[in-house]
Structure 1
Amino acid sequence: MSIDRDALKRLTLDLLRSDEEFRLAVAGLIGLGAVLEELRKLREDFNRFAKDQAERWAENNRRWEENNKRWEENNRRWEEEARRWAEEMKRWEENNRRWEENNRRWEENSKRWEENNKRWEENNKRWEEAYRRFEAIELELKKLREDFNRFVEIEEKRWEEAENKFRWLMEALDDIRRALGGGFEYYTARVVGLLLRERGVECDVRVNVTLPIDGFKEVDLICYDPLVVGEVTVAVRSIEEAEREVGKLLEAERAVERFTGRKTYMRVLAVEFASEDVAEYLRRKAQEMGILLLLGREYERL
C-alpha cells in the first residue's frame, strides 16, 4: 500500500497543531520532552511571579491611592493652615496698629495726667488756704454760737417768767368766769367732758380762753390734752350764719394747733337756738367734717 507523503505531512502537521498528546510524543521521540517540561515549569513559575507581581502592584496601587488621599488631606490642611496664618498675620498687623494707637493715647493721657497733677497741686494749695479760712470762720462761729446760747438762755428765762405770769392770769380769769357761773358755754363744756369720760378720756374742758397767737385769739371751748376745740353760739338764724360759725370753728382750730403744736382730737360746734332748716344743714355739715354738733332748741321758721 503506497502512502501519499504529502498527505502524511499535512496530517502530521495537523496532529501536531491539534493533539497535544501526539505533539508531546513526537517531542519525546526527537528528545524535546525535557525541554518542554522545563518550559512548562518556567511558565508556571512565570505565572506565579506574574500573579505575585500583579498582587504587589495592586497593593502598591492601593497604598499609592491612600498616600495620594493623605497628601490631598495634608495639602488641604496646609492650605487651611496657610489661610489661618494669613488671618493671624492680618490680626497681628491690626493688633500692632492698635497697640501703636494705644501707645499714642497713653502718651497723650500721660501728658494730661501731668497737667492734672499740676492742677491738683494747685487745688491742694487752694484747699489748704480754704481750710485755714474755714478754721478762722469756725472759731468765729463758735464765739457767735456761745453768745447766741447765752442770749437764748436769757430769753428762755424771760419767756418762762412771761408764761408763768400768763398762766397765772389765765387761771385768774378762769376762776373769775367760773365764779360768775351759768351760761351756755359752761353747759357745753360739761356735756363735752361727760362725752369724753364715756370714751375713757379725762379732759379739763375750759371756756372763753384767750390765746396769745395772731395777736390774741379767743376760743369759746378748749381742752389741751387731748386737744378739743369748740365754737359756742346762742342762735343761728340762717345758712349764711351757719357757714360763718363753721368757719370760725376751723379758724380757731388752726390757731390752737399752731399754739399747742398738736393735732385736734375733737371739734365741737354748740348752737343753743336754730331753725329747723338751719339745724338740718348743720347736721349734714357736721357729718361731712367730723364735727360734734350740740343743738339746743329747734324752732320752725315763720
Structure 2
Amino acid sequence: MGLKEEFLRLLREDEEFRLAVAGLLGLDEILKELRRLREDFTTFVKAEEERWRENEKRWEENWRRWEENNKRWEENWKRWEENERRWEENNRRWEENWKRWEENERRWREWFETWKKFLDDYLAFKEDTTRRLSRLEEGLGAVTEALFSRYVWEDLSADIRAAGELVVRRVRNADFDGVDVDLLVETDKRIFVVEVKVRPRIEDVGALLAKAEVVAGKTNKPVVPVLTGALVGREVEAYARGKGVLVYVY
C-alpha cells in the first residue's frame, strides 16, 4: 500500500487522525461552525416541528369549527328551504285570498248598485207617498174641520139662542188681523173664537187663548174661546175649562 492509500485510509477510519489533519489544514473552525450550524438547524427543525404541531392543532380546531359551521349552514339551509316552502304556500294562499277579495268586491259592488237602486226607488216612492199622504191629510183635515165646524156651530147656535142672543155673523177660516180662526161667531153681545182639532193638546189651548186675546184687542165685546175635537184627553179638557174655554167633544 502506498503512502496515498494509507493516508486516505487513516482519514476514513481514524477520527483522531482526521481531526489532526483538519487542524493542520485550518478546518477545525469550519467544523465547529458546521457543528453549530447543525445544532442550530436541529433547534430550528425542532422549533418548526413545534410550530407545525401547533399549527396542526389550530388547523384541527379550525377544521372542527368549519365542520360545526358547515352543520350550522346545512341546518340553516334546511330552515331556509322550509321557510321558502312556507313563503310559497303563503304566497299561494295570498293569491287565493286576493281572488276571494276581488270576488267579494265585485259582489259588494253589485250589491251596492242593487241597494242604491232600491234606495232610490224607495226614496222616490216615499216622496210620492208623502206627497199623496200630505194631500190626503190636507183633504181629510179640511173635511174634518168643516164637519166639526158644522157640529160645533149647531151646538153653539143652540146655546146662543138659549142665552137669548142674536147671531150677527158666522165666518169659517176667518183672518182676524193676521190671526187664522177656524170659526168666528159673533152675536149681539159676544164673539166666539173656535179652534177645531181632532186631537187637541195643551199647546193648542194656549194657541186658542192667544188668538182670543188678539180678537179681544180689536173689539169691545167679550171674547169666548171654544175648543172642539174628537179625541180630547181629560187633562187637556180640564186645563181648557180651567182657563175659561168652552169645550165641545164629538
Fold shared by both chains (TM-score > 0.5): no
Task: Return the TM-score normalized by structure 1.
Answer: 0.38
Higher RCO (Cα < 8 Å, 6 or more apart): 2
Task: Return the TM-score normalized by structure 2.
Answer: 0.44
